[in-house]
């Protein structure tokens, strides 16, 4: 599943390519996504101009000229592909995960613009589109989730107030979208490694110093990933030909049995399963 940095890269690609562009045609090949597309989906977004594209957590928010908001979640396997007219570059993926080329199957929704087409592909169909007709309804939807890691309110005081009396392990809390929204499995392991915190630790056992480190390294790890183009295990490239390279800098994720990369540490990276998810950590560094 794409995490916050990967969705941010998709958003940046959309801003570059479709912001201020008019949707000339809407083609729906399959309404049966995680939630069925509204019956009137085509009619309400056709002929509308895209005023803005932004991101909240793992959601892409497309603001339309008719004052509607089209919200997209990519689910487990969703990708957006940009096909430009008269462009021989076969690389179409707007981000860096899954196929860099437009697959032949599972192209469920297509938006046609003057000089390009935007195609939503999703083999597993866990992604979905939602339409909100007022700013208030969009805010209500967003308020169902925790604050974003880059929000100024995500600070030491917030983290301590939420976790100081909780017995659930800290790894699970980083993945809890009600606590902080946008962090997924890869980055949770990386954040805890940088913070020198064992993922199995109870949240209530963390010190004030560790609460502060969680905030600092959450922002730093996610920022670094965005700067490096997001994580792409298979090292694909996007429509601009740029590689997502953060996977080259993983300190613990998918490094089971390898030496810890911290200077002077003789630890070995271990893999355990927490809440049915692979979790990687250093058996010495992370206490």
Res. 212: pLDDT tops 70? yes
Res. 244: pLDDT tops 60? no
Which residues are known to be catalytic? 2-3, 58, 277
Residue 143's pLDDT band (cuts 50, 70, 90): very high
Residue 242's pLDDT band (cuts 50, 70, 90): low
Q: 175-187 pLDDT, tens per residue?
A: 999 999 999 999 9
Domain boundaries, the chain: 4-142, 156-282
CATH topology of domain 156-282: Helicase, Ruva Protein; domain 3 (1.10.8)
Average pLDDT score, the chain? 91
Residue 91's pLDDT band (cuts 50, 70, 90): confident
Q: Please tell me whether the overall predicted TM-score, pTM, comes out greater than 0.85 for this model.
A: yes
CATH topology of domain 4-142: N-terminal domain of MutM-like DNA repair proteins (3.20.190)
Closest Cα partner for 148 from 209, 75, 231, 58?
A: 58
How much is the average pLDDT of 131-146? Answer: 96
Residue 85's pLDDT band (cuts 50, 70, 90): confident
């Amino acid at each position: 599943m794409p995490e916050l940095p990967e969705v941010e890269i998709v958003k940046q690609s959309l801003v570059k390519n479709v912001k201020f562009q008019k949707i000339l045609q809407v083609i729906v090949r399959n309404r049966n996504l995680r939630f069925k597309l509204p019956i009137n989906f085509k009619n309400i977004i056709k002929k509308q101009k895209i005023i803005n594209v932004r991101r909240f957590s793992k959601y892409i928010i497309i603001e339309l000229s008719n004052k509607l908001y089209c919200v997209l979640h990519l689910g487990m396997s969703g990708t957006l592909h940009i096909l430009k007219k008269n462009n021989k570059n076969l690389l179409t993926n707007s981000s860096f995960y899954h196929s860099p080329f437009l697959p032949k199957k599972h192209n469920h929704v297509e938006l046609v613009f003057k000089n390009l087409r935007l195609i939503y592909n999703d083999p597993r169909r866990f992604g979905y589109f939602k339409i909100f007709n007022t700013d208030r309804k969009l805010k209500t939807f967003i308020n169902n989730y925790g604050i974003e890691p880059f929000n100024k309110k995500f600070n030491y005081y917030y983290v301590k107030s939420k976790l100081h009396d909780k017995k659930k392990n800290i790894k699970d809390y980083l993945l809890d979208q009600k606590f902080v929204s946008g962090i997924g499995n890869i980055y949770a392991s990386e954040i805890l490694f940088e913070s020198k915190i064992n993922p199995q630790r109870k949240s209530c056992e963390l010190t004030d110093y560790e609460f502060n480190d969680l905030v600092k390294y959450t922002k730093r790890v996610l920022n670094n990933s965005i700067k490096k183009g997001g994580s792409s295990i298979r090292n694909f490239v996007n429509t601009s030909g740029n590689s997502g390279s953060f996977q080259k800098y993983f300190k613990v994720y998918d490094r089971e049995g390898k030496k810890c990369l911290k200077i002077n540490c003789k630890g070995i990276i271990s893999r355990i399963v927490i809440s049915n998810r692979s979790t990687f950590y250093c058996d010495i560094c992370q206490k």
